[in-house]
């Protein structure tokens, strides 16, 4: 809220969220006004001045709308830059170079990975306490394994295969099963950056662009297109020129067609409009 000599203006949370939202909402409440001179002019004269004032409001409104249209174009450009930065700032995924390695935090776990796939497995021993021998005795072995995409977008967002806690009472049988699972998916771990199945390409794209160093199955390496920065620079120049000219033209037109308000009780025009 802002108080002036003759009116109070209310501003309801004017704000700018770059690239997303522009909000401007104002209202005016007249508090004090000396209308004695206007009364003496008669209804027809005052009505003409009122219509003139409404025209002035409309011109001001048109300027605000023109500025908002310019903001829309600029906001779209801001989002373009943000998407380009999201792509450029995407970190390279960590991987083991297709080598089986012990997994940190898991006593019996190990994993293998490259730029597209990762597989992990674990065999854990279940025991129970035997009162007769006063010892813990093994009762079973449980095998867990899984294969995920090693996506730069985050861990464990797309599982390809896996099984949890498959129970065995014979350790040799458990290990044989696990080795069979490793062999079954070993074809995924022959290249550091194997071709991505078409159905999974979105997991390796940012803002609709495939990340560098990746290829999609059945496709040739994608040709480098005009860069986002080049496109954005061209668009920025066009938006700035078009938008500013448009707003400046409206401002000029509004100033050229502005109408003097009458003096009221010796006050200047700016005192009345404040």
Read off the pLDDT of residues 89-105 as tens digits, 9 standing for 90 and up.
999 999 999 999 998 76
CA–CA distances in Å: residue 263 to residues 12, 52, 267, 274: 31, 15, 6, 14
For the cut 80, the answer to whether the pLDDT of residue 15 exceeds it is: yes
The shares of helix, strand and coil residues in the chain, as percent rounded to the nearest 5, are 40, 25, 35
Task: Please say whether the beta carbons of 174 and 180 come within 8 A.
Answer: no
pLDDT value of residue 83: 94
For the cut 60, the answer to whether the pLDDT of residue 25 exceeds it is: yes
Q: What is the pLDDT of residues 108-141, one digit of tens each?
A: 799 999 999 999 999 998 888 777 777 777 889 9
Run of H or E residues at 9 = strand 7-11
Query: In the chain, where are the structural domains located?
Result: 2-89+237-273, 101-210
Instruction: Give φ, ψ of 74 to 5 degrees.
Output: -70, -35
Nearest to 10 by CA among 32, 36, 30, 35: 30
For the cut 70, the answer to whether the pLDDT of residue 51 exceeds it is: yes
Of 4-8, 132-136, 220-224, 233-237, give the lowest mean pLDDT range. 233-237
pLDDT value of residue 104: 74
Instruction: Tell me the H-state helices in 101-210.
Output: 171-184
């Amino acid at each position: 809220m802002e108080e002036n000599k003759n009116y109070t203006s209310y501003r309801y949370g004017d704000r700018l969220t770059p690239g997303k939202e522009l909000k401007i909402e104002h209202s005016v409440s007249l508090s004090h006004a000396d209308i004695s001179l206007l009364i003496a002019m008669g209804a027809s004269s005052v009505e003409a001045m009122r219509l003139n004032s409404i025209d002035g409001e409309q011109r001001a409104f048109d300027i605000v709308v023109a500025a908002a249209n310019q903001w829309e174009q600029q906001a779209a450009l801001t989002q373009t830059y943000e998407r380009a930065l999201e792509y450029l700032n995407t970190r390279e995924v960590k991987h083991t170079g297709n080598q089986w390695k012990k997994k940190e935090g898991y006593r019996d776990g190990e994993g293998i990975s490259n730029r597209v796939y990762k597989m992990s497995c674990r065999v854990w021993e279940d025991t129970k306490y035997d009162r007769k021998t006063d010892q813990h005795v093994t009762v079973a072995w449980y095998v867990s394994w899984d294969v995920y995409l090693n996506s730069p977008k985050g861990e464990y967002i797309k599982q390809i295969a896996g099984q949890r806690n498959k129970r065995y009472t014979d350790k040799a049988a458990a290990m044989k099963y696990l080795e069979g699972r490793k062999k079954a998916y070993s074809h995924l771990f022959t290249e550091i950056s194997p071709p991505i199945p078409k159905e999974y390409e979105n997991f390796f794209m940012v803002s609709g662009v495939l990340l560098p160093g990746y290829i999609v199955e059945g496709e040739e390496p994608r040709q480098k297109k005009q860069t986002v920065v080049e496109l954005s620079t061209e668009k920025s120049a066009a938006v700035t020129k078009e938008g500013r000219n448009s707003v400046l033209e409206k401002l000029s037109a509004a100033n050229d067609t502005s109408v003097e308000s009458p003096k009221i009780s010796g006050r200047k025009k700016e005192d009345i409009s404040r």
